[in-house]
Amino acid sequence: MQQVTEAINESISTLTEMRQIISPYLPPPVLALIQTIDHHPQISAYIPHEPSITILLSIFTIYTFATLVKIFSFGGKAIEGLDNDEPEDNVLAFVHNQQQHEQYKESVILFGPCGAGKSLLFHKLTSSSSKEMVQTVMSLKANVMIQNNCRLVDYPGHAILSSKLPSLFLKGKGATSIRAIFVVDSTKSLSEAGSVLYSLLTNQDVVEGWNNNTHDEKLNIVIACNKSDISTAKNWRRIKIQLKNEVDKLKKISGSCDNNGGEMDGHGEDGTGKDTGTTSKRQFQMTGKGVDLEDLSKNGISGIKLSFMSLSAKNGDGMKELEAFFTEGKVLADNSSILKSRR
């Protein structure tokens, strides 16, 4: 018992010394908080000796333990992927591999910001296949599934990978996609989603490729406003208005930069004019005073058509119509009546 008592007293002494060492380096508000905690009668009843330092060490220990659990649970994969110096080099490796070895009629591109629900939607759209056929990869690489002679490409939403996305929409350069699904989180801000959409609509290779298409085909993009089952979700009409505002804002900023003499060249990423596997950095200038997402031809984009729908990949609202778009190419009209409960 005497040894236990001595160990406790030594621990208390260590905590006291620690407080005395760090106190001179702490700002006055923090010192005031420490004094309040140390002299609070209810806290002192449970932690009689150095309660503020004890609580601080407990929080630090829990945080350290949780971080270690996270690292070992994922085997370090997430950290390895993010630390890769050239993460974009492999983002489409699996896609290109299937282009060489698999037969399919056309592709549907599933894209959008991180956290919008693309992965869940990807597996919902391909759920008729057995689990063994579902190929899951790291979040920094594209997921691909071929079903009913149609290839679904789930492109990751990380901003560091955004420059490779337009290569999947290049008309006349081996692209077989005439439709895509742009997934947005209808419960969150649309600034990132607006940036993704603006980047695609101002990519000169993509826009001119579809504008000059001689087969009367259009790139049909359904903007799926996901998570409609959540009470704070915005319906597709509000999403359309807010996306228009975001794209319009970026258009004005770009126009202001151009007036100041900024201009991008038409070379590849290496600046030599060689084909680097990505689109050029030339930007398409949208015409018109404002952006019209209902009729992009008013902005000089005649080859791309947008449509909107509310969706819940979680409970299935709207999935039937989206599956028809994926498998049969049925273009959706803007419609929220597909939901069980309209907003």
| Distances from the Cα of 206 to the Cα of 133, 134, 169, 303, 340, angstroms | 32, 30, 6, 9, 37
Q: How many CB atoms lie within 10 A of CB 217?
A: 12
Question: How far lies 98's CA from each of 104, 148, 156, 170, 257, in Å?
Answer: 9, 15, 17, 18, 40
Which domains does the chain possess?
2-73 (no CATH), 88-261+273-328 (3.40.50.300)
Crossing angle of helices 118-125 and 319-328, rounded to 10°: 70
Q: Which helix (H) or strand (E) element contains residue 237?
A: helix 236-259
Q: What is the pLDDT of residue 238?
A: 94
From residue 17, alpha-carbon distances to 48, 50, 55 in Å are 16, 10, 16
- Mean of the per-residue pLDDT values of the chain: 76
Kindly report the backbone phi and psi dihedral angles of residue 308, in degrees, each rounded to the nearest multiple of 5, phi listed first: -125, 150
Give the bridge partners for 217, in sequence order.
none
Question: Looking at residue 236, what is its pLDDT?
Answer: 93
CA distance 266 to 272: 10
One digit per residue, the tens of pLDDT, for the chain of length 343 reads 666 566 667 777 887 888 788 888 778 888 888 888 888 888 878 888 888 888 888 888 888 888 887 666 544 333 233 333 344 455 555 555 555 445 677 889 999 998 898 888 888 888 764 444 444 444 677 788 887 778 888 888 887 777 788 888 887 555 557 889 999 999 999 999 999 999 999 999 999 989 987 777 889 999 999 999 999 999 999 999 999 999 999 998 887 776 655 544 443 444 444 444 444 457 899 998 889 999 999 999 999 999 999 999 888 889 989 988 988 888 766 654 444 443 4
Q: How far apart are CA 143 and CA 174, in angstroms?
A: 19
Rg of the chain (C-alpha set)? 27
Note whether 108 and 145 are within 8 A (CB). Answer: no
Dump pLDDT digits (tens) for 151-167.
888 888 887 777 788 88
What was the pLDDT predicted at 157? 84
Residue of 159, 163, 160, 120 lying closest to 143 (CA atoms):
120
Single pTM value for the model? 0.64
β-pair type (143-147, 304-310): unpaired
- The one-letter amino acid code at 257 reads C
